[in-house]
Chain A
Amino acid sequence: MSTPNQHYAILMDAALFEIEERNFPAARAHLELARYGNPTSPAPLIALGFVHHAEGNRESAAGQFSDACRLAPNDPLPRICLAELEAQGEGFHNAAIGADKILHGLPNDKLAILAMLQFRDCSGETKRAAAELAGFVRRTGDHGLAKAVADLLRYCGQDKDAVAMEAMA
């Protein structure tokens, strides 16, 4: 029951839990330490952006997302977060909670699964996210997503699953 950076994983999990519980100071403390423990990952910065936004501090949130963009220039998620914040400023806290929900009993919630995809992608677990998304498509019969999921699977080198997913499109 361990990951290479177990401490970081527990901190991120505990932070998401505290976000869900709207205990933002505790979440922030966990995320700051997670940031120190894994300085190359944009995930703590993005989650910190969610926390600031949920607390009504949009400027700080934008700052965190911008830092995340600089840290991971090839990762689309921080840019999406920043763009969405600038466009409407809504949805980030929901995305964080949504991401959590997928872990906690709402496996067929589309918002949650998409948010989860972003979270997983952000933390380098794209392959796992693709598998989960494929499971979602199979369970819900959401054929609209099938083509995109097939592309994602192919990107992850899972050609066999991609072909099966394309057949559902």
Chain B
Amino acid sequence: MTAPLCSVILCTHNRRRWLGRAIRSVLGQTHQNLELIVCRDGGDPVRDIIQDFNDPRIVFIDRDENRGYGASLNECFGRARGQYVAYLGDDDLFYPRHLGVCVNAMEAAPSVGAAYTDLLACHANIGQDGRIFVTRKNIDISRDWDRFFTMHYNHVLGGSLVHRRELLDKIGPMDTEIRVLVDWSMIRRMAMFTDFIHLYDIGGEFWRYDESDSSDRISDRMRRDKRVFDANMRRIRAERPPKPWPMMPDTAIILPARSVTGKVRKVLADIAEHTWCPRMTYVVGPEWERHNLPASKCARWFVQNQRETFESAILRCLQSADADFATIIHPKSVVKAGWIGAAIYNLAQSDRRAVAYPLANQPNPVPSLYRREELICAMQAHPGESPRDAARLGGISHESAYPDVPLSFDGGLEVAGTNASRARHDTAAVVYSGMVDQFAPRQWGNPLWMAESQAREHIQAGRDDLALPLLTRLAQDRPTPGILHALAGLYRRQGMPEQARMLYNDALAMLKE
């Protein structure tokens, strides 16, 4: 059987020194049925480097203008022929099994659209003599797939991702205005269409060649400008790929307003700032106020007809909104961090019908989040009632508490971290251990990450006996310099110098460039 074709996309800008290494790592994959699309996005010429490889699998796109990563990706998407698509930074590298491991995992799970491995984050200083000293190599992020977390924060590194080609058709083109967190923009949209598989292999390395704050990487430069960074964040959170989104509910936020006052503007700005799930805000008001609505991808004006009640206009708005969930808020509503996330999360997780969850930190009467269809039925059955009363009369149960908390894994991490910072290392180790069991049924156990954290706390607590089996297993399953170093220390303390020496040398060998 022929292995499926895999397209690897590599966009490059002023990285002549590292580009050859990146290309070699792609062409040296165990999965050989691949094409490599190299797109020069302005900067230093690299044609000579490409020609040196003399490999027909390389497709070279040579653009003199620096158009940005998003624009380059869009061009590469149009050229990619593979059944699977992967990405590599121009100064990063794949380990030889990366594509094979990811493709095999997805071939075995046809319903899953994407897979990702872990990457070693490599930091290095370049001396005045040009020599490179690697300062550290760690797995900074190794997190099991969590769709809601992805809406909030990216935990899938672009260079570790392999996905099916058809996802690109679903998510649409990249927004070329986004210059920071471009990977997240893509992954976040993919999360609306598919599950991801997290594979515990180390798929490669991504590099940072400067410990100082002076990295010349375009995305790093922009990241340092908070205004630009925040604008990008808002833009990404406002992205709405073409529907249907089989994996992610859409939420309609309805805001009745007779005019666009300062309070209304503030609520709209706060919604953009603090809402991390996909949403559309409908401001329900008279036609003559429409032009005052600030321009936004995620806010629309819904016209309240003359002499029409707000209840009637809200019902029509609900009927026309293309959303799964809906809430009706007030210009005095409190919109701050976490205001709607828990309600969306719980409604999305719940199998219960006719249930509504409250928005957090709201003044009375607390608005709730409903399933849109259920609220429509209730309002149609009880015309003239306020949406909340209609929902109550229609048998929708207004819950006052959340059965589950979004980002609860992170809550556990915080508990463990607090214990560790107060030198309660035994307790921190127990928390880490418990988290694996608690979250494993939901496939968020993060067993390797938690085992490493647990081992660190055992060492801090002086419990080498408990740390040893954990580190031994980690050193076998997925060694990193940090793990080998810690294990070497344990062997030293146990009077086993040969094992210690071997581990020190292994750790140091991994830290070579």
Contact = CB atoms under 8 A, between A and B. Distances in A.
Interface of A: 1-11, 13-14, 17-18, 21, 30, 36-37, 103-105
Contact of A4 (B136, B481, B507): B136
Q: State the 10 A-B residue pairs at the shortest beta-carbon distance, nearest first.
A: A1-B482, A6-B136, A14-B504, A37-B133, A7-B511, A2-B138, A5-B135, A10-B485, A2-B482, A104-B493
B456 A1 contact: yes
Interface string B137-164: 1100000000000000000000000000
A21 B485 contact: no
B487 to A, nearest CB: 10
A11 B508 contact: yes
A77 B353 CA distance: 71
Given A6-B511, A17-B501, A36 B456 contact: no
Contacts of B500: 17
Contact of A103 (B133, B455, B483, B493): B493
Contacts of A4: 135-136, 211
A18 B497 CA distance: 9
Which applies to chain A's interface (DSSP): helix, strand, loop or mixed? helix
Given A6-B482, A104-B493, A14 B508 contact: yes
Nearest to A29: B508
A11 B159 CA distance: 30
Contact of B493 (A6, A10, A105): A105
Contact of A13 (B127, B131, B135, B504): B504
Given A10-B485, A18-B501, A105-B493, 13 more contacts: A1-B452, A4-B136, A6-B137, A7-B508, A10-B504, A10-B508, A14-B504, A14-B508, A17-B500, A21-B501, A36-B133, A103-B489, A103-B493
Contacts of B452: 1
Interface of B: 125, 127, 131, 133-138, 211, 452, 455-456, 480-483, 485-486, 488-489, 492-493, 497, 500-501, 504-505, 507-508, 511
Contacts of A13: 485, 488-489, 504
Contacts of B134: 7
Contacts of B485: 1, 6, 9-10, 13
Contacts of A37: 125, 133, 135
Contacts of B136: 2-7
A36 B488 contact: no
24 contacts: A1-B480, A1-B483, A1-B485, A2-B138, A2-B482, A4-B211, A6-B135, A6-B482, A6-B511, A7-B133, A7-B508, A10-B507, A10-B508, A14-B505, A17-B488, A17-B492, A21-B501, A36-B131, A36-B133, A37-B133, A103-B489, A103-B492, A104-B492, A104-B493
Nearest to A15: B504
B504 A17 contact: yes
User: Among the interface residues B131, B136, B497, which one has the most CB atoms of the partner chain A within 10 A?
Assistant: B136
Contacts of A18: 501
Contacts of A103: 489, 492-493
A10 B452 CA distance: 18
Contacts of B125: 37
Contacts of B493: 103-105
A10 B511 contact: yes
